[in-house]
Structure 1
Amino acid sequence: MVTPSIDSGSDATHREATRKAMRYLIPLMCAIYFMSYLDRTNVALAKVQLARDLGITAAIYGLGAGIFFIGYALLEVPSNLIAHRVGPRRWIARIAVTWGALSAAMMFVQGEWSFYVLRVLLGIAESGLFPALMYMVTLWFAPQDRPVAVGWIYTAPAIALVIGNPIGGALMQMDGIGGLHGWQWMFLIEGLPTIFVGILLYFKLPERPSDARWLSRAEVQSLESRAVIADHARMSSRHWMAALKRPTTVLIGLIYFLNQVAFVGLVFFTPAIIQQMHVSSPLLIGLLSGSVGIGFLLGVLTLPRIHRRMRSDCKFLWVLTAGSALTAAALMLTSNQTLQIVLLAGTAFFGGGVLPSYWTIAMKRLQGIHAAAGLAFINTIGLLGGFAGPYLFGMAEAATGRSASGFAVIIGAALLGLLIVPLLARAIDNESGAGHTDNPQQRDVPARA
């Protein structure tokens, strides 16, 4: 694991304390985010079987896959307020146990409406997990170290796609055992461990530095003086609504929305794309679908490092957005299946690898309570893109009969993003001239993974 960056004014005690916190906390945070992504996306592997066994069409599937994000988005801010009130450890554990049980209950889907209901409930149960993890980050890490922690946390969903799809594909081959379909076994076996992880976190995840027995008193004071006290000062502001009105916040939110339309649609429809390449084995479908996770992971590990060397955030975003459009267009133009799988990974490389940079760019321009409100607002907008993406992919497949036709959605979303990025650059310049932007000497560096 990479040692967090510490500015020249930091002492050895804080550096050692931060290293310990990274080493202990990040694996626990990654474990729960890994399970959430596994349980959120395993429905993609069941798409073909749900159509065969229950008559769930591509359009129904797309709506059900995306409707998960509606309850998630609407309840995210209230959920995080509860996490602040009762403590993130208890709330994260509650989230994990509840959604693990609901994920396992997906085995009882009988048709269209039960599919919709359980997906909505799953989104409601999981709402607040990511912001609660981000809240934990603010309790433990100094501002210059938070992007590093976020970058590591984002490796969890990427790894979930790499190894989760093959695992799910293997479980799908249990079809007929005990009178259950393969997809029923998959939901059951992948849902139950999440409950266990939630219980484990309740006992193992220290809420604040003062709760950690593996920190010395001096290390606790060092961490809290640079994180918790600063956060307390931010909570006293009465002007958090101003963050929601700033053009940079709105434009970053719109770009993130378009990214999620494309990337979430890609994640939920990749197994169907692979299956239409005349691949029949669920295990092989899962293995080949892992290419998206590999691309995602490579992007998270490399693109933030490149971002550190870029002088212009917006030029960097523009290049990555253009990369998504080009790889998606190339996939639609080729019939070579090996190349198509490579291009699936390439699209995920650009679309997923840019995610830590969105948050870094936003953090540079939001301070105090503006950051708390603005980042939550951006994430809520993005979650709505997570609803729209699978729904649009489902409509595209219903109209053409080809899952890969959803790549037209990726191209369209990317082209719109290319139009918005220059507007963001202009808004950043205007806010900088008006004195709203952070001092360049205090800017966060992009997340490193």
Structure 2
Amino acid sequence: MVHHPIDQDTGSVHTLATRKAMQRLLPLMFAIYFLSFIDRTNVALAKTRLAADLGISAAAYGLGAGIFFIGYALLEVPSNLAAHKYGPRTWIARIAVTWGILSTLMMFVQGESSFYVLRVLLGIAEAGLFPALMYMVTLWFAPHDRPVAVGWIYTAPAIALILGNPLGASLMQLDGAGGLHGWQWMFLLEGIPTIVFGVVLFFILPDRPSLAKWLSRDEAQALEAHAVIDVHGRRELTTANWIAALKRPSTVLIALIYFLNQVGFVGLYFFTPSIVHQMNVKSPLLVGFLSSSVGIGFLIGVLILPRLHRKLDNDCAYLGALTAGMLISAIAFIAIHDQSIQIVLLGITGFFAGGILPSYWAIAMKRLQGIQAAAGLAFINTVGLLGGFVGPYLFGLAETMTGRSDSGFNVVVVASLLSLVLVPFLAKAIRYEDRTPAQSELGLT
């Protein structure tokens, strides 16, 4: 009887601290991810002008759009290990400043070769950002709060897809001002804010609860206890066995499912402006606004679906249902030729393809901590980023072969179907690891 009120008090402190952390941290994490998404996807709006001004073909554009993810992927794990070593604050700020500089340099693209080089360098500069944000989530939030925290972070790319296309299209109206093309103004004016915010972030982002001046000592201790100790109940893992996280069947399977999601989803949002343009929409501003349908669906998905996931116990059944939704919406887009309905289906596909993303990370975080979380989450993101390369490339090939951008929806169908096939294997791996926790911790499953 003596411990119950104390537990209640501890719980209320943790609830208050979690609310404070979400209010203070999530806007910063949102802002930096928003800027990164604007800077990585604004090239989609420049596609037609790059072809007209520099002769960059659809296939070359698809390769350049996707090749960004190669440099990004190769450095994900070492970059996030650096975030673990030096602290997320320093590393995230470094990433923001360097990629902001390279994003502005995109204005100097002269042809296909320079386009490829700058896209690769941009990917290298941004490597580690998202897994560093996910690593911070493991340091600050208890597992049952993580789907919601990650969902709020994912509103950043969703809103970037909604606002980024109209914003970029508006900046491209500066065509001819100062002797620059519109796409050059877009790269310049969307890159500079990232540099500035990266510097600001270095001074205001705390690495962990114990370093946050706006938390009391009890609040910081409650956050750290619920994020790590209460959940895992075991020692912090060391550098010597971080590779164990990469050997877990559940980690590998989540990475593969995430890869297939990114093949379909990244290909889709890089080619949505082209798909809309082929619907006989001529105004660049109208193309930008209609292309936002994917972002609107994405935003609704990440606001609703993580909260639904929070209430359900069967992670894999939930993943299967959302993956099936993505598959059905893609098939419907191909089967239905009414353009107004297709615009709606773009949004519905974004709802499932984007709304499912926080669930991947929440499931992975349940099984990873400390340096294993840094390495394992970076590995999952690395594999997903390879999907980000493959998707636009396949969409570009499909357009080259058929002459139509919307033929890429066949890629979405195949990727969703393969994801659905892998979900039962993930369920089996999780059940096995939960039965043998000691072996799972050492990566021996």
Give the TM-score, by structure 1 length: 0.90
* Contact persistence 1:365–1:437 (CA under 8 A): no
Partner letter of residue 333 of structure 1? A
Partner Cα separation in structure 2 for residue 328 and residue 49 of structure 1: 28
Cα 1:239–1:329 shift into 2, 3 Å = same
SS in 2 for 1:45: helix
Query: What SS is found at the alignment partner of 2:236?
Result: helix
User: 2:109: which partner in 1?
Assistant: 109
Give the Å deviation of 1:290: 0.7
**Structure-2 separation of matches of 1:371 and 1:96:** 22
The residue aligned with 2:17 is 17
8 A Cα contact 2:147 2:309, kept in partner: no
Cα drift, residue 285 of structure 1: 1.1
1:259 corresponds to which letter in structure 2?
A: N
1:9-48 superposed matches below 5 A? 10-48=10-48
1:318 and 2:298 correspond: no
SS at match of 2:110: coil
Give 2:389's match in structure 1, choosing from 387, 390, 395: 387
Partner in structure 1 of residue 247 of structure 2:
245
Partner of 1:276: 278
Cα separation, partners in 2 of 1:414 and 1:143, compared to 1, 3 Å: closer
Q: Answer yes or no: is the 8 Å Cα contact 2:143–2:362 preserved in 1.
A: no
Contact 1:173-1:283 within 8 A present in 2 as well:
no
CA contact (8 A) 1:169 1:287 kept: no
Moved more, 83-92 or 267-276: 83-92
2:183 and 2:171 map into 1 onto residues whose CA distance is: 8
Q: Deviations over 1:132-164 (max 9, x none)?
A: 212322333334433332221111111111111
Matched position secondary structure for 1:56: coil
The match for 1:126 is: 126
The aligned counterpart of 1:202 is: 202
Matched, 1:222 2:226: no
1:66 and 1:324 map into 2 onto residues whose CA distance is 22
In structure 2, what is the Cα distance between the partners aligned to 1:63 and 1:39?
17
Higher alpha-carbon deviation: 82-91 or 289-298: 82-91
Tell me how far 1:377 sits from its aligned partner.
Answer: 1.8
Could you give the per-residue CA deviations for residues 409-444 of structure 1, whole angstroms, max 9, x where no partner exists?
001111111221222223333334445699xxxxxx
Structure 1 residues 296 and 138: CA distance shift in structure 2, 3 A: same
SS of alignment partner, residue 175 of structure 2: coil
SS at match of 2:42: helix
Amino acid at match of 2:321: V
CA contact under 8 A between 2:14 and 2:222: conserved in structure 1? yes
**Which residue in 2 is equivalent to 1:156?**
156
1:76 aligns with 2:101: no
CA 1:375–1:118 in structure 2 vs 1: closer, same or farther (change >3 Å)?
same
How big is the shift at 1:226? 4.2
- Change over 3 Å in CA distance of 1:405–1:221 after alignment to 2: same
Question: Which deviations, in whole Å up to 9, do the C-alpha atoms of 1:204-257 show, x marking residues without a partner?
Answer: 222333433322333333334444778994233744333322222222111111
Give the corresponding residue for 2:398.
396
Structure 1 spans left out of the alignment, 5+ residues: 1-6, 439-449
Residues 55-98 of structure 1: CA distance to partner in whole angstroms, max 9, x if unpaired?
11111011100111111111111112222232222221111111
Using a 3 Å threshold, how does the CA distance of structure 1 residues 251 and 85 change in structure 2: closer, same or farther? closer
Q: Which amino acid aligns with 1:293?
A: G
Structure 2 residue runs of 5 or longer lacking an equivalent are: 1-6, 441-445
Aligned residues with identical type, % of pairs: 69
Which whole-Å CA distance do the structure 2 matches of 1:228 and 1:360 have between them?
14
Computed over aligned residues only, the root mean square deviation of the Cα atoms, in angstroms, reads 2.3
Question: Does residue 411 in structure 1 map to residue 413 in structure 2?
Answer: yes
* CA shift digits 1:104-132 (9 cap, x unpaired): 11111000000000000000010111122
2:443 is matched with none
Structure 1 CA distance for aligned equivalents of residues 266 and 146 of structure 2: 25
Map of 2:433 onto structure 1: 431
Q: 1:427 to 1:215 in 2, by over 3 A?
A: closer
Letter of the structure 2 residue corresponding to residue 190 of structure 1: E
Q: How far is the alpha carbon of 1:172 from its aligned partner?
A: 1.4
Structure 1 stretch displaced more, 304-313 or 268-277: 304-313
* Count of equivalent residues: 432
Structure 1 residues 387 and 9, CA, compared in 2 at 3 Å: closer, same or farther?
farther
**Letter aligned with residue 32 of structure 2:** I
